[in-house]
Amino acid sequence: MGSLEDMDLSLIPYVDYSELRKLVGAAAIHRGLEYENAGHVSGLRWDEGKLKLRGLVSGSRGKSYETAVYFQEGKTRITIEETSCSCPVGWDCKHVAAVIFRSNRLLEEMGGDKTPDRPLQIGEPAEPERTPLFTQGQAARGKVKPPKLAPPKPAAWEQQLETLLSPPAAASPVRWGQENQAPVVRAPMALLFELVEETKRPFSGIGTSKDAKPNAPANIRLGVRPVSRGSSGSWTVGNLAWNTIYRLAYADDLNAAHSEWMRVFHSLFQASHSASANAKWIFLDGFNSPLLWNMLDQAATIGLELVTSRKNSSITREPIASVSADILAMPDGGIRLVPLAKVNDAALDPSRIGTIGSPAHGLYWWDAGNEPDGALSQRAVHFAQTDGTMGDSLRLLVDSRIPVDVPAPSRNRFLELYYPKLRSTMDVRPSEGTEGLPEIRDPEPGPDSDTWDRSASRQCGPPWQGCLGAKAGGQHVTLP
């Protein structure tokens, strides 16, 4: 056995890049090329009698590993019989790849475009088609035909580009005792949506049951929870829960990208809550971060589905929604204040909507269903991001799901005391045909931008309130 500098390099077999990649795997070949380029391979030796290539490779932590590649001669070609290394992996590792890359580079530098003499072809001509190659990993050794070590050979720069263009896939962590087990099929995950009706006390605070509102709607919230696809093909909860979501990092049977998304989703929700999350549900009215919409965009990118628990129900993300307050004149002379939510210019039923986040950055709503008293889990649910953040006053109006009815005798009091305040806190839009309602107009700036018009024939407040007036006989008059 002698050093490569003292012998004919053409005696060493040349290993094709694609064959080496299938022998050691994508990750190992990528690291092996980095080691060879960095000059970590030394002490290369070739033993012609044993057809053995040896080398010393310096690892990432400064420790050197003895690496060997054993070849064997067949009737028509030379094949790799086995490899060995003193590193923890033991064989077919990145150090083996580094040693072969080094010997290949020396062969190329020796002959330029000249094809090395090996592999040997004794007695029979080479087969016209290449034989199947090694499969990736140590577990496949001896179960497939050996590779044909023959030209064409890629140059060193081609090998580097191949590595750059085919980066190694992120390998799943190997658990103790699972090194030689067959890979597990990873089940996809989904985010399940469901309307949850919570029990509401008839009254709270000081008072009696007589103070409770008899027509107050039930407290209906939109909850989400993680599910995975079971062996039957349906979505199942299994042992998934938000309070143990961190365990998904160790779940080898679930889609890795989906489980990571779930952990980030939970962390984003929990960031604005001091108490631990509900083990079963995350309610979207408490998902305060607008990054929710970025997360849902990413879910679509990675193939994580949004599902419901019933076949006759559905969940749909809609385009941008707009929300304002609508003021209606009642036939008896009273005034009604209701939320006005629109999607695609279609108004939503204010009794079947709710907000997402606080401050609210989204809406959810559901249809009436075929049966008015049917289960909520059988409804079609929709949700959308709003075109702006809602103030707390408008959010509370939306979430109440009941109108504010001002009786006719209190009309003037409402117009004088409450309407200007509503106008300063939310977008109020009186319906067409409403008569006698005050006109709120933007203030007219004076010479100084910090002042407002006090000389106009209308009652003006600070710039954030606007000016209050009323129409009478076609003339603008000032309310007293």
Exposed / middle / buried, residue 365 (Cβ in 10 Å: 0-12, 13-18, 19+): buried
Q: CA 18, CA 400: separation in Å to the nearest integer?
A: 66
Tell me the pLDDT of the chain averaged across its residues: 75
Across the range 368-386, mean pLDDT stands at 80
Pull the structure tokens for residue 159: 């090998």
Confidence of residue 439 (pLDDT cuts 50, 70, 90): low
Predicted structure pTM score? 0.55
Pull the structure tokens for residue 175: 């658990």
Bridge partners, 241 (sequence order)? none
Exposed / middle / buried, residue 110 (Cβ in 10 Å: 0-12, 13-18, 19+): middle
Confidence of residue 348 (pLDDT cuts 50, 70, 90): very high
Exposed / middle / buried, residue 466 (Cβ in 10 Å: 0-12, 13-18, 19+): buried
pLDDT at 267 over 80: yes
Pull the structure tokens for residue 158: 């081609």
Helix (H) or strand (E) holding 106: helix 94-111
Please give the pLDDT value at position 223: 94
pLDDT at 158 over 60: yes
247 — phi, psi (to 5°)?
-70, -15
* Least-confidence region, from 165-179, 242-256, 337-351: 165-179
Confidence of residue 462 (pLDDT cuts 50, 70, 90): very low
Higher pLDDT, 281 or 22: 281
Confidence of residue 343 (pLDDT cuts 50, 70, 90): very high
Please give the pLDDT value at position 356: 96
Across the range 339-343, mean pLDDT stands at 93
Please give the pLDDT value at position 440: 52
pLDDT at 203 over 50: no
